[in-house]
Structures are given as structure tokens and as C-alpha cells.
Amino acid sequence: MTVGFSPPETARLRERLSGRLALPGEQAYDAARRVWNATHDYRPALVVQPRTTADVQAAVGFARDRELPVCVRGGGHDHAGYAVAHGALMLDLSAMATARVDPARRVAIVGGGATWGTVDEATQAAGLAVTGADVSAVGVGGATLGGGPGRLDRVLGLSCDNLLAAEIVTADAEVRWASADSHPELFWALRGGNFGAVTAFTFAVHPVGPVQLGTAICPIDRAADALGLYQQLCESGGDELFVRAGLITAPPARSSPSGCAPARWRSRPRPGSGHPPGPGPRWPSCAASHPPVPTWCGPCRTWSCSGWPTRWCPAECARSSSAASPARSAPG
């Protein structure tokens, strides 16, 4: 592969950055190009890890002048591996991962490389939330630019529906601020498309939570009953209830015997209704009609966890979950 730049040129780029530049052979290079779907083993020509919007501009300008393709890594959770590409200049935004909330204006300003776990922690400190994703390690960037369904979407809409503005570095290396009033067509396009490197997102946030969160696991011979109940809950549960059912071959474990059919129930308060104490009311009927193998339920402050205690959960969620649930491995 011919790479269209010389060592002195990369040295000059490195000098311009407040963030880092990583080249093949350097440790940071291999760490940055690794994405969630490990089948994508692509080797970018160089990786820039910007800390500021000016860094992103410098990197995009460098790529533009040398006709290098650019790929952008947000949370790195894309199944298709679009965050990384052979021979490209890869912008790894993981150092731009802050989330700041302005409770008075009901907005959250989020760095282009933040994950939903970071956003949940910041917004919940003020009793607020934006839709987010199922798993807290998912990037805000890819999810929002792709639409962004999540466990609160029946009440709050998609994440992109809550996007108020975006700061973006476009292919000409210019910074643009897209909103309903500024570059409105670009703003429209961003709610479902990728038109540059978004360095900051501004979201509307809403009073929510904490939610009641729980999991029920039934043996496979009760699956038909459990799915019947699932259908019933979907039809009658109201927008505040998020419920999901799945049939999986569970790993043999003390808490999850092989051949179980897990179902996960989540209920949440209507935004603004305050924090409910204790387990949600739907649990007893579920447990009574479908004796679960392990069932647990408790308050949770993140919508972006898999329903199991995981390493991504904020401390409070992990504590309340592990107190009520036997240890098991995370599926997400």
C-alpha cells in the first residue's frame, strides 16, 4: 500500500495536536483500531486521537490535502466496523468523551466520542435523561447519527429526536454548528446520517428515573407461557414499560441452568413522576405465573445496561443489581 505522507509530515501534524497521533507499530495504534466486532481487523494509515475541535480540523485538513480517506471512531460498537478502515486517517474520538448537563436549560452537551454510560451518569445526577442505548458502552456518535432507539424511546423518542444541535467538522476541515436555525439542512441530515466528524452533540434532556429493572428466567418448557405474558404486557403495559423477551441457550451456571428462557422486564416511571421506592408492581404477577429460576428486581439509574450487572454499570446500579442477583456473566 502506498501511503501519501512522509515522516516529517506526520511529525509536523503531531506537533500541531494537543491530542495524540499513533502510527503502525505503536502501542496506541493497535488499541485504537480495535473495535467491538473483532472480525474487523483493519489497518489505518495513521490514527489521530484528538482532544479538541482544532485537533479534528488539523487531522481532517491533513487527510484532505493528501486525499486520504477518513474514518471516525465514536464508541467503536458498530457491527459493520465502519469506525476503522484500511489506509485511512482514523479519528479516534475517545478522548473527547465528556458529558455536561445544564439542568436549568434542560440540555446535555456531549463530546463526540462519549458513550451512553457517561451520559447516563451525568444526566442522572440531575434526575434527567435522554433516550440512550441498550448497552452503556455504545457510542453516542454512531447511535445518534443512525437514529438511536433505546429503552426510553416509547416515552422520549429516538436519541436523534432529542438532538438540538451538533458541532461538526466537515470534509473541508471547517467547523459548522448545525441546528434548526443554523445549517438546517445539515442538521436534518445528521439525524440519520454521517456528514463529517461531530465533535459535540447538544441533547434535550427530560426528568426520568431511576427505573425499576429486573430479569426473570424460566425453563424452556415454560417458554410459551412466558411469551404469552410478554405479548400481554406489550399490549397493555403503557409507554412507561419496556419489556423484552428472548430465547437463549444459557451457559451452564449455578444461577442460569442450560436450557432456560430468560425474559427481561423493565418498568419506569413516567417522566417527572419522581422516584419509585422498591420493586415495580408487575413483578409479583410475573413471578407467580411463571416461577422463574432466578428473578431479581431493583432500582437502576442507567437505561444503557444489559439488564445484568456489568462492568459498564455506574456504581449504584451495579451495587443494587449484585445485591439482588447471583453473579453471572454479562451477555452484551
Ligand X SMILES: Cc1cc2nc3c(=O)[nH]c(=O)nc-3n(C[C@H](O)[C@H](O)[C@H](O)COP(=O)(O)OP(=O)(O)OC[C@H]3O[C@@H](n4cnc5c(N)ncnc54)[C@H](O)[C@@H]3O)c2cc1C
Residues in contact with ligand X by CB under 6 A are 35-36, 71-79, 82-83, 93, 112, 133-135, 138-139, 141-143, 145-146, 148-150, 194, 197-198, 332
Supply the minimum distance, in Å, between the C-beta of residue 108 and ligand X. 15
If the CB atoms of residues 185 and 221 are measured against ligand X, the closer one turns out to be 185
State which residue, 162 or 295, has the beta carbon closest to ligand X.
162
Nearer to ligand X, 144 or 295 (CB): 144
Cβ at position 95, least distance to ligand X in Å? 12
CB of 41 to ligand X, least distance (A): 14
Whole-angstrom distance, CA of residue 313 vs CA of residue 330? 11
Q: At closest approach, how far in Å is the CB of 211 from ligand X? A: 15
Nearest distance from C-beta of residue 274 to ligand X, angstroms? 26
For residue 124, the cross-strand partners are none
Of 75 and 292, which CB lies nearer to ligand X in the complex structure? Answer: 75
Would strands 206-207 and 175-179 be described as parallel, antiparallel, or unpaired? unpaired
CA angle 305, 307, 310 (to 5 degrees): 60
| 118 vs 295 by CB, closer to ligand X | 118
Measured distance CA(140)–CA(87) in Å, rounded: 25
CA atoms within 13 A on the CB side of 212: 20
Which lies closer to ligand X via its Cβ, residue 146 or residue 207? 146
Smallest gap from Cβ 43 to ligand X, in A, equals: 16
